[in-house]
Amino acid sequence: MSRLKLGVLGSGRGSNFVALATAVAEGKVAAEFVVVGSDQADATILEEAKKRGIPTVVCPKGNYRTKLEEQIEEGLAEQLGKAGVELLILAGYMRVVKEPLLKRFKGRMINLHPSLLPAFPGLRAWEQALRAGVQETGCTVHWVNEVVDGGS
């Protein structure tokens, strides 16, 4: 059985990546990680990938706080494509993805979001939930589209 080739983008600790990598290593998921990328050169997710022998890529932050410049994102999309990524996972990736990634990975990109969407989209979802006083919250895994946290 062929294993699905996974790529991950993250901006921080990589706790979701570690959980996914553990599931793959234990044979619970028929997949393999071919690359892990970040917009933060010092992100722990990169160290976690290197410990597991997974290639890493760091893209420059550019001039925007919430997204990459188009040419930078095009370069990232190209690198992920060359690595053979079949499914791209956004796991704590704190940038809004735009056309270069959306186009290359259309129908093949998922996001892990720390709320039960459509409640509490965007940044700091857990803080939004606490402020709202909700009794229950959770996580959403959804297909990524051009609407931030709006995929199905």
CATH superfamily, domain 4-110, is: Formyl transferase, N-terminal domain (3.40.50.170)
What phi, psi does 104 have (nearest 5°)? -65, -35
Is residue 65 a contact partner of residue 94, using CB atoms and an 8 Å limit?
no
Dig out the tokens for 76 from the structure.
């990232």
Closest CA to 76 of 10, 150, 133, 27: 10
Q: What is the pLDDT of residues 103-140, one digit of tens each?
A: 999 999 999 887 777 767 677 777 877 888 888 888 88
Q: Which residue out of 113, 129, 140, 144 is catalytically annotated?
A: 113
113 is annotated as an active-site residue: yes
Task: Say if residue 91 is exposed, middle or buried (CB neighbours under 10 Å; 0-12, 13-18, 19+).
Answer: buried
- Determine if the pTM surpasses 0.85: yes
Q: What is the pLDDT of residues 16-75, one digit of tens each?
A: 999 999 999 999 999 999 999 999 999 999 999 999 999 999 998 778 777 788 899 999
